[in-house]
Amino acid sequence: MRIGILGSLEVWADDGAPITVGGPRPRALLVLLAYNANRVVTVDGIISAQYGEVPPADAAGAVQAHVSRLRKVVKEVTFEGGGYRLALDPGDVDALRFERLAAEGRQSRLPARRR
Protein backbone atom coordinates (compact mmCIF):
# COMPACT_ATOMS: atom_id res chain seq x y z
CA MET A 1 0.00 0.00 0.00
CA ARG A 2 1.12 3.55 -0.72
CA ILE A 3 -0.42 6.72 0.65
CA GLY A 4 -0.26 10.27 -0.65
CA ILE A 5 -1.02 13.00 1.87
CA LEU A 6 0.75 15.89 0.14
CA GLY A 7 -2.30 17.50 -1.43
CA SER A 8 -5.49 15.46 -1.53
CA LEU A 9 -5.45 12.09 0.20
CA GLU A 10 -4.70 9.26 -2.22
CA VAL A 11 -4.36 5.58 -1.36
CA TRP A 12 -3.15 2.75 -3.60
CA ALA A 13 -3.13 -0.99 -2.99
CA ASP A 14 0.06 -2.99 -3.52
CA ASP A 15 -1.04 -3.71 -7.10
CA GLY A 16 -1.47 0.02 -7.79
CA ALA A 17 -5.28 0.00 -7.71
CA PRO A 18 -6.74 3.10 -6.06
CA ILE A 19 -8.48 2.63 -2.72
CA THR A 20 -11.35 4.95 -1.84
CA VAL A 21 -11.65 6.05 1.77
CA GLY A 22 -15.03 7.64 2.41
CA GLY A 23 -16.06 10.18 5.00
CA PRO A 24 -14.15 13.20 6.28
CA ARG A 25 -13.35 11.76 9.74
CA PRO A 26 -12.02 8.39 8.50
CA ARG A 27 -9.99 10.25 5.86
CA ALA A 28 -8.58 12.63 8.49
CA LEU A 29 -7.83 9.65 10.73
CA LEU A 30 -5.93 7.94 7.91
CA VAL A 31 -3.88 11.08 7.27
CA LEU A 32 -2.98 11.25 10.98
CA LEU A 33 -2.05 7.56 11.10
CA ALA A 34 -0.11 7.79 7.82
CA TYR A 35 1.92 10.74 9.06
CA ASN A 36 2.77 8.58 12.08
CA ALA A 37 3.27 5.43 9.98
CA ASN A 38 4.22 2.37 12.01
CA ARG A 39 3.89 4.28 15.31
CA VAL A 40 1.02 4.05 17.78
CA VAL A 41 -1.20 7.14 18.02
CA THR A 42 -3.11 7.15 21.29
CA VAL A 43 -6.88 7.44 21.33
CA ASP A 44 -6.46 10.73 23.23
CA GLY A 45 -4.11 11.96 20.50
CA ILE A 46 -6.65 11.07 17.83
CA ILE A 47 -9.45 12.79 19.76
CA SER A 48 -7.34 15.92 20.14
CA ALA A 49 -6.40 15.95 16.46
CA GLN A 50 -9.95 15.35 15.24
CA TYR A 51 -11.98 17.40 17.69
CA GLY A 52 -9.66 19.98 19.24
CA GLU A 53 -10.15 21.21 22.79
CA VAL A 54 -13.90 20.53 23.01
CA PRO A 55 -14.53 16.92 21.93
CA PRO A 56 -18.03 15.44 21.90
CA ALA A 57 -19.19 13.48 24.96
CA ASP A 58 -18.53 10.08 23.36
CA ALA A 59 -15.40 11.00 21.40
CA ALA A 60 -13.73 7.65 22.13
CA GLY A 61 -16.75 5.83 20.73
CA ALA A 62 -16.75 8.09 17.68
CA VAL A 63 -13.07 7.35 17.09
CA GLN A 64 -13.80 3.64 17.36
CA ALA A 65 -16.56 4.01 14.76
CA HIS A 66 -14.24 5.92 12.40
CA VAL A 67 -11.56 3.26 12.83
CA SER A 68 -14.11 0.57 12.07
CA ARG A 69 -15.11 2.32 8.83
CA LEU A 70 -11.47 2.85 7.90
CA ARG A 71 -10.50 -0.79 8.56
CA LYS A 72 -13.04 -1.94 5.97
CA VAL A 73 -10.75 -0.56 3.26
CA VAL A 74 -7.36 -0.26 5.02
CA LYS A 75 -6.61 -3.54 6.73
CA GLU A 76 -3.23 -2.29 8.00
CA VAL A 77 -4.84 -0.31 10.86
CA THR A 78 -4.27 -2.16 14.13
CA PHE A 79 -5.09 -1.52 17.79
CA GLU A 80 -2.09 -1.61 20.10
CA GLY A 81 -1.54 -0.44 23.66
CA GLY A 82 -4.24 2.19 23.94
CA GLY A 83 -3.98 3.49 20.41
CA TYR A 84 -3.98 2.72 16.74
CA ARG A 85 -1.10 2.07 14.36
CA LEU A 86 -0.95 2.03 10.59
CA ALA A 87 1.34 -0.95 9.92
CA LEU A 88 3.07 0.61 6.95
CA ASP A 89 6.66 1.45 6.13
CA PRO A 90 7.13 5.23 6.43
CA GLY A 91 8.72 5.18 2.96
CA ASP A 92 5.30 4.30 1.55
CA VAL A 93 3.87 7.68 2.67
CA ASP A 94 4.79 10.50 0.29
CA ALA A 95 5.23 13.19 2.96
CA LEU A 96 7.50 11.01 5.09
CA ARG A 97 9.51 9.94 2.06
CA PHE A 98 9.87 13.60 1.06
CA GLU A 99 11.06 14.56 4.57
CA ARG A 100 13.62 11.73 4.56
CA LEU A 101 14.94 12.58 1.10
CA ALA A 102 15.15 16.30 1.94
CA ALA A 103 17.12 15.50 5.11
CA GLU A 104 19.45 13.21 3.13
CA GLY A 105 19.94 15.96 0.57
CA ARG A 106 20.81 18.50 3.26
CA GLN A 107 23.26 16.05 4.84
CA SER A 108 24.96 15.32 1.52
CA ARG A 109 25.56 19.03 0.97
CA LEU A 110 27.03 19.78 4.40
CA PRO A 111 30.65 18.79 3.60
CA ALA A 112 30.62 20.91 0.42
CA ARG A 113 29.52 24.00 2.41
CA ARG A 114 32.29 23.61 4.95
CA ARG A 115 35.09 23.68 2.40
Residue 37's domain is classified under what CATH number? 1.10.10.10
Q: Which residue has the higher pLDDT, 112 or 89?
A: 89
Q: State the burial class of residue 86 (Cβ atoms within 10 Å of its Cβ: 0-12, 13-18, 19+).
A: buried
Segment 62-70 shows an average pLDDT of 96
This prediction has a pTM of 0.87
Residue 85 sits at φ, ψ, to 5 deg, of -135, 135
pLDDT of 38 reads 96
- Residue 35 lies in domain: 2-114
pLDDT of 80 reads 92
pLDDT of 111 reads 59
Segment 62-78 shows an average pLDDT of 96
CB 21 within 8 Å of CB 28: no
Q: How many domains does the chain have?
A: 1
